[in-house]
Amino acid sequence: MKLTLTLNGKSRAIEINANDKLSDVLRLLGCASVKTGCHEGACGSCGVLLNGRIVNSCLTYAAQADGGNVETVESIGSLDAPHPIQAALVEAGAVQCGFCMPGMIMAAKSVFDKNPAPSDEELAIHLDGQLCRCTGYEKIQTALRNVAQAAGVPDALVGGQGDRS
């Protein structure tokens, strides 16, 4: 069957099988940022935005995305001109091995797209599902708090630590 979608702002088409997962097809389409870690929706490293929502592309059939709008981290910044989320992560030293970062960044983008100044709690809820085995999350949280504060939210309105237990 033929899959047609908007990928990172460009219309793309590709022949797929019904059983193909979106993660595999995105990699075939050149999005090497999409990593498959667990293949069961636990790690988040395959996270992409499908119609504005963060999803596990390893669980999503490519056919389900037919006609949809898919965004991967390739669309939102470069080494020379990083997205504010990417710049904040680098500034805070929040990136170590980097495997989780494409999913983490896209999950964060899904929050900031709706609310430029989310609370810590809101970020924790929406980043639940993005595992990082290097940083312990503190620096990631600091970086994203800095993005929220840069958007103008007063310190007092930034909420307490989210519960990731």
Partner 1 sequence: MKLIRYHRPTTLEEARRLLKELGPSGLPLAGATSHAFMKGDDEKTAVDLAWLGYDRIATIDGGFTVGANTRIADLQQYHAPGWVLDRVALRFVNQPIRNMTTIGGNIARVFPWNDFPVVLLALGADMIVTGEVEAVHPADTYFKGQPARLFQPGDLLTEIRVPAIVPGVGFGYHKETVVNMAFSALTLAVRLTLDKRMIADVRIAAGAGIPLPARLTAIEQALMGRPISTETIQQALDAQVDAVTWKGGDGFSDAYVRQLARVHLEDVLIEAWQAAKGGAA
Of 152, 140, 142, whose CA–CA distance to 116 is shortest? 152
CB of 4 to partner 1, least distance (A): 12
Q: Which one of 7, 44, 75, 139 is in contact with partner 1 (CB under 8 A)?
A: 44
Query: With CB under 8 A as the contact rule, which of the stretches 39-47, 75-83, 92-100, 136-144 interacts with partner 1?
Result: 39-47
- 129 near partner 1 (CB under 8 A): yes
- 18 near partner 1 (CB under 8 A): yes
At 153, which amino acid appears?
V
CB of 64 to partner 1, least distance (A): 7
List residues binding partner 1 (CB under 8 A).
Answer: 1, 17-19, 39-42, 44, 47, 53-56, 58-61, 63-64, 66, 107, 125-129, 163-165
